Structure 1
C-alpha cells in the first residue's frame, strides 16, 4: 500500500492528519522516540506529542520505556483501538439517521402550514418495481446508492451495467451483509465493478437508498406483494439531507478494489479471499463464497501470511494492498 493510500484509510477511521502520519511511521518502524518521530516526519515536538496522546488514547500505541534513552513508543496490536473507532463512526451514522428523520418532520410540518404540495411521493405494492425501473431509466449523469438487504430485485443488475457502458457514473456503498449473501458478490458486485462502478463497503447502513443525479432520492422497503413501499423524495431540504447522509457514509466506508495486481503476483482465488477479508466478511461466509472447506480456507490464509511475512490479518491486509493485490 502506498503511503498516501494508507493515510487515507487512517483518515477514514477518524484520525487527524498529523495523528495518521505519526501512526503510519510507527507501523513501519515498530518503535521510535518522540525526537526520532519529529525528525523523520519534520514535525514539531508538540505536534508529535499531541498525536501520540491521541494514539495512546485509542489503544493504537503504547509507551515502551528503555533506561537511558528518550521515551520510546511502539505500535501495538490494533484490533481493540480500531474497534473503538468503528463504533464511534457507527454512532455518527446513527446521528445522521436521526438528523434526516428530524429534517423530514420539520419539512413536513412546514409544508402543511404553507399548504403547498408535498415533496414526497409514496408508491406501494406491485407498482414499486415498475416505478423504480422508470426512475432508473430517467437518470442522466450519476446514481448513488446505499445498498443493504433485503433487495427487491435479483442479484444480477443488467440495467446498471448497460448504463455504465453508456458513461453513467455509479457510486455504491454496500453493507457487509450484502457481501455475505450467497452469490451477491459474484453475480452483482463484481460484474458492476468490472463495468466501472465505484464501490465501497461498511459494517452497517442506516437505510436502503438511491439518489438520481441531484433531482430525487428514494427509500425502499422491500417486501412481497402489497407490503412493498417506495418513498420518493423530490428537491428540497429533505433531499439535501439525504445527499449529505450518502456522502457521510461514502467518506467513512472502505473502498473495494478489483485490480488484478502485478502479472503473476497472485492468483484470482487468493485475491478474492483477500477482498472478502478486507471487507469484513466472516470466515464461514468467505469460505462458502469461495467454495472451500474451513480447513482449506485457513490453510490458504496461513499460506498468504507466510508469503507476506505477516502474523495478523491487519498486517496481511496492509501487505496485500502494498503489493497491489487489493
Structure 2
C-alpha cells in the first residue's frame, strides 16, 4: 500500500514521484533505468502525477517534481475538506434516520451473534466524544481483549469511563488488562455489583443484553436517543459517583515498591488474598507476607487501619 494512497496517489505514482524528488529532473528513459518498471507503467504513473499537479513536463529537461509541501499539502487539504463534507452528510442522514423513525424503533433487537459483535465494534468506531461502559464478570460475546475498537477510539481521543464489577477483577489476567487500559487513558472505577453489562456511546446509543439471566446469550438491544437513553445515562452517572477509583496501575508517591502497590491496590479493590495471588502470579504465602510487611510499615494491627493509612500516605 502506498503511504500517499489516502490522498489518491497510487504505489507506482509514489515511487516515480519519490525518484523525481531525489533526481530533481528526469526523462522517461532516466526513470525506466532508475526504477526498473516497464516504460508503459511509468508513463501511466507520470500521466497521473501530471493530472494532480505533482510534476511538470519541462520538455528536453524532462519531468520536474512540484514542491512536496505545496503540492501534497494541497491534496491533503482537499481530502480533509472532502472528509468533513462526508462527516456532515452522515450526521444529516443520522438525524433524518432518528427523526423519521417511529417510537417503536427507539429499541432495536439483535439476536445473531456475529451481528451483535459487529455492531458492538461499529458503535465504538463511530464514537466522537465519550464511551461509558459497565463491565460484568465473565464477558463471553466480546471478551475485553477482542475489543479492538476501544484501543482505536482511545487513540482518537475518545474518553472512556468504565464501571467494573468487583468480581470481574478475579478473572484470569484481568488485572493485567485493566492496567493496560489505565495506561492507555481509560478511567476505571469499581463497584460491588454491576447489575447489567452496558455501553453508552456519546449521547446517542446504549447497547445492553436482552436477557440478564443468560450471560452466554448474544441477544442484545440497542437503545437510540430517547427518554429511555437519558435514564440509562443518569443511572451510569449515579453509579459512577459512588464508585471507587481503581487504585492499581497508577504512580503515587510513597515508599512502597511496585509489587507492594499492586498487592495493596487489589486488596483495597476487594479481592481476596487468594485472588490477589492468582492475579499477580504469587504464592498465597508471599501475599500474606507482603500484607504483614505492609501492616508493619504502616504500624497498624488490622487491614481496615492499613487502608486508612494507605489513603493518608497516598500509597494508592
TM-score (structure 2 length as normaliser): 0.62
Match of 1:144 in 2: 132
1:211 alignment partner, one of 195, 200, 209: 200
CA RMSD of aligned residues (A): 1.8
- Is residue 297 of structure 1 aligned with residue 284 of structure 2? no
- Is residue 262 of structure 1 aligned with residue 250 of structure 2? no
Post-superposition Cα deviations, 1:194-219, rounded to whole Å, max 9, x if no partner, equal 11111100110111000001111011
SS in 1 for 2:277: helix
Separation in structure 1 between the aligned mates of residue 288 and residue 235 of structure 2, nearest angstrom: 38
Residues 191-206 of structure 1: pairs in structure 2 closer than 5 A: 191-206=180-195
Separation in structure 1 between the aligned mates of residue 149 and residue 260 of structure 2, nearest angstrom: 30
Match of 1:313 in 2: 303
Q: Indicate if the aligned counterparts of 2:124 and 2:153 stay in contact, CA closer than 8 A.
A: no
Separation in structure 1 between the aligned mates of residue 151 and residue 312 of structure 2, nearest angstrom: 30
1:275 alignment partner, one of 265, 272, 288: 265
Separation in structure 2 between the aligned mates of residue 168 and residue 300 of structure 1, nearest angstrom: 38
SS in 1 for 2:222: strand
Report the alpha carbon displacement of residue 262 of structure 1 after superposing the two structures with TM.
2.4
Match of 1:118 in 2: 105
SS in 1 for 2:144: coil
Q: Indicate if the aligned counterparts of 1:260 and 1:268 stay in contact, CA closer than 8 A.
A: no
Separation in structure 2 between the aligned mates of residue 153 and residue 235 of structure 1, nearest angstrom: 24
Match of 2:54 in 1: none
Report the alpha carbon displacement of residue 229 of structure 1 after superposing the two structures with TM.
1.1
Aligned length: 208
Q: Indicate if the aligned counterparts of 2:138 and 2:171 stay in contact, CA closer than 8 A.
A: no
Q: Indicate if the aligned counterparts of 2:263 and 2:276 stay in contact, CA closer than 8 A.
A: yes
Q: Which has the larger radius of gyration?
A: 2
Structure 2 residue runs without a partner (length 5+): 1-101
Post-superposition Cα deviations, 1:265-314, rounded to whole Å, max 9, x if no partner, equal 21111111111111101121111112222222111100000001112212
Q: Indicate if the aligned counterparts of 1:178 and 1:185 stay in contact, CA closer than 8 A.
A: no
Q: 1:182 to 1:116 in 2, by over 3 A?
A: closer
Structure 1 residue runs without a partner (length 5+): 1-114
